[in-house]
Structure 1
Amino acid sequence: MCHDTDSRPPAPPSAGEVAERGLLTLTSADGTEFDAAYAAPAGEARAGVVVLPDVRGLHPYYVALAERFAEAGFPAVAVDYYARTAGRAGHGTRDQDFDWKTHMAQATAEGIDGDTAAAAAYLRERTRADLPVVTVGFCFGGSNAWRQAEGALPLAGTVGFYGRPQMVGESAGKARLPVLMLIAGDDAATPVADQLELAEAMRAAGAEVETAVYDGAPHSFFDRAADEWAEASADAWRRILALLDRIAPDRAA
């Protein structure tokens, strides 16, 4: 379990008005309809975020996280991976008793990328055609975000919290997008050394890779233990927002 049932995301460094929020249905390129959550800031969108959840899919935590990104000034869509094998969630989000182990094992990179592309397209439809979009993933989603650094999708960068390098596979040798790796220093699921080795492999492929190791922090420190690891969570927010600022065009210019 990546985080508690009632866990909610830590607040960004500064919070503005959220102009729109809600659940919606998106359609992947293979025709699959899936659940997603959308949130938009009141101001102009400079960059967008596709949130890739942990193993449990579109848990309420990620609906709230999309809203947090909107508070920070960036429109966001959080996606659910499992419509192809589990069908859509009856009320838009996955319940606590959802059998994620069965359905995660059946999820494919092609399906996840199709859902990501549909979410990015929706963000651009709602804002502007040239909106730069990054993926921000957690655990299972973090692994897929790092994998997406190979640049096969129309993304401007990727961010992954506590992913698993073995899931990135050969894509590490093709990485070319900017990557932010947020690493729990006491991650029981994946050794820090393995994640740093992945960073070196992606750098060797030509990607700009930033790593942040939070000493002593457990897996899921940004969600399950965000209150206890407030300083690490705040630093993670700062790094994510800095990446978004870097890839966002200067509209005034």
Structure 2
Amino acid sequence: MRGLHQFYKELALRFAEVGMQAVAIDYFGRTAGLTSRDDSFEYMPHVQQIQLPSFFADAKAAQDYLYSTPAGKKPTFPVGFCLGGTLSFLSGTQQDFGFAGVIGFYAGMKRNLNGEGTILDRAGQIKYPVLGLFGGADQGIPNDQVQSFEQKLEQSGVEHEIISYPGAPHSFFDRRATDYAEASTDAWNRVLRFISAHIQA
């Protein structure tokens, strides 16, 4: 929900530190301009203006940027949190990206962007392996929704790993990592293992 907050810039550096190229995109840039995304940023008006075709175009531009670096064309994975998790999974419904996998933390299951259906509606359209990480105590994403998402992926035959951390709230990784250090560490290690496994696949 926070857009290109400092946390996500630093997360891109964490990926770089383990040898992975990463780029963080600002999906509010089209409506908010190049303004600060600190904790005072009022994101909700911009959430309401997100258009999926524009988001997909921005994500494709980021992917093309990575492909243009000296490392060349390597397997790519979107990683998102909350709204970004929803967008990560929705991007997984698009064949053109050719992702090696899609990763989402506490993605809202009922968010219906542009009236094109929720993640639960479109889970069967995801074309790439899925890693989903959720807080078991997330009041905004009940466990039955997470279980329904997992069942729909199972039914469609999409490779997936869905993890729910008992007692962990929403944003346990990006806002409360110190309080939920064990869950956050495990989640980070799962992300790295998932990427490594699907780079080699």
Name the counterpart of 2:103.
159
Higher strand share: 1
Name the counterpart of 2:10.
64
Q: Which consecutive unaligned segments of at least 5 residues does structure 1 have?
A: 1-54
Higher helix share: 2
Q: Which consecutive unaligned segments of at least 5 residues does structure 2 have?
A: 112-118
Q: Work out the CA distance in 2 between the residues paired with 1:77 and 1:247.
A: 19
TM-score normalised to the size of structure 1?
0.72
CA RMSD of aligned residues (A): 1.6
- Deviation per CA, 1:113-162, whole angstroms, max 9, x where unpaired? 11111111111111444300001100000111122222432311111101
What is the aligned-residue identity percentage? 39
Q: Work out the CA distance in 2 between the residues paired with 1:148 and 1:203.
A: 19
Deviation at 1:76, TM superposition (A): 0.6
Name the counterpart of 1:13.
none
Name the counterpart of 1:185.
136
Name the counterpart of 2:169.
218
Q: Work out the CA distance in 2 between the residues paired with 1:107 and 1:122.
A: 22
The structure showing larger relative contact order (alpha-carbon pairs under 8 Å, at least 6 residues apart) is 1
3-state SS in 1 of match to 2:11? helix
Q: Work out the CA distance in 1 between the residues paired with 2:194 and 2:38.
A: 32
Q: Is residue 80 from structure 1 mapped to residue 31 from structure 2 by the alignment?
A: no
Name the counterpart of 2:93.
150
Q: Work out the CA distance in 2 between the residues paired with 1:73 and 1:133.
A: 14
Deviation at 1:67, TM superposition (A): 0.4
3-state SS in 1 of match to 2:168? strand
Structure 1 residues 96 and 225, CA, compared in 2 at 3 Å: closer, same or farther?
A: closer
Q: Work out the CA distance in 2 between the residues paired with 1:131 and 1:119.
A: 13
Deviation at 1:171, TM superposition (A): 2.6
Pairs aligned (count): 193
Q: Is the 1:141–1:160 Cα contact (8 Å) retained in structure 2? A: yes
Letter in 1 for 2:34: R
Name the counterpart of 1:114.
57
Q: Is residue 232 from structure 1 mapped to residue 183 from structure 2 by the alignment?
A: yes
Matches of residues 1-253 of structure 1 in structure 2 within 5 Å?
55-89=1-35, 93-152=36-95, 153-167=97-111, 168=119, 170-249=121-200
